Amino acid sequence: MIHLMGAVLVTAGCGALGLGAVHCLDGRVRDLGELAAGLDTLQRELGWRLSPLPQGLEMAARAVHGPAAEFFAQCAQKIRGPGEQTFQEIWREGLSGGRLRLAKEDRALLERLGPVLGRYDGDSQRGALEETAAGLRSLQGTAADDRRRLGRVYGVLGTTVGLLLAILLI
């Protein structure tokens, strides 16, 4: 009886690991979409309404949800606060220190935007924001394809490994 319970627990644990990997893939797709929407809001604020950067970041934080909202809010808070960090450093720190589920190429695309924001005229910033948002949407499509393709693999693989281990333990 104990062996059977152990086998069930091992199978369930491995299946949960597979589902956890699927959840990470889902999170990346969501975060990329939220970041792109936030950049669209920031583009409108900086390019058309000519809002100051901290106010634009706050509006972007209100327009999105989850880790992307936290990222924009954190950047807005740090840029308003006393400090000797440049916006580029604040931006990079927010990308690496937050709960955003990003791949290396996602982070690299967003890091290129940091030096442009707050330093150039509205048209230059708007163009950089448009380009980055389009890049994020492209990466989101790729991530969604990966999620569809790898999601099933991770779920099945986790359960299969769990069953294999259970058979070996019994």
DSSP string of 94-132?
Answer: HHHHSS----HHHHHHHHTTTTTTTTS-HHHHHHHHHHH
What's the structural domain count of the chain?
1
The Cα–Cα gap between 17 and 25 comes to 13
pTM score, whole prediction: 0.84
130-164 pLDDT, tens digit each: 999 999 999 999 999 988 888 888 888 888 888 88
Top mean pLDDT of 3-17, 32-46, 86-100, 107-121 is at 32-46
pLDDT at 13 over 90: no
Amino acid at 134: A
Q: What's the pLDDT band for 37 if we cut at 50, 70, 90?
A: very high
- Percent pLDDT > 70 in the chain is 99
Which residues span the domain enclosing 132?
A: 2-169
Q: What's the pLDDT band for 60 if we cut at 50, 70, 90?
A: very high
**Average predicted confidence (pLDDT) for the chain:** 87
Q: What was the pLDDT predicted at 6?
A: 80
The Cα–Cα gap between 128 and 27 comes to 25
Q: What is the mean pLDDT of residues 110-135?
A: 86
Q: What was the pLDDT predicted at 83?
A: 72
- Percent pLDDT > 90 in the chain is 41
Q: What was the pLDDT predicted at 126?
A: 85
pLDDT at 17 over 90: no
Q: What was the pLDDT predicted at 140?
A: 94
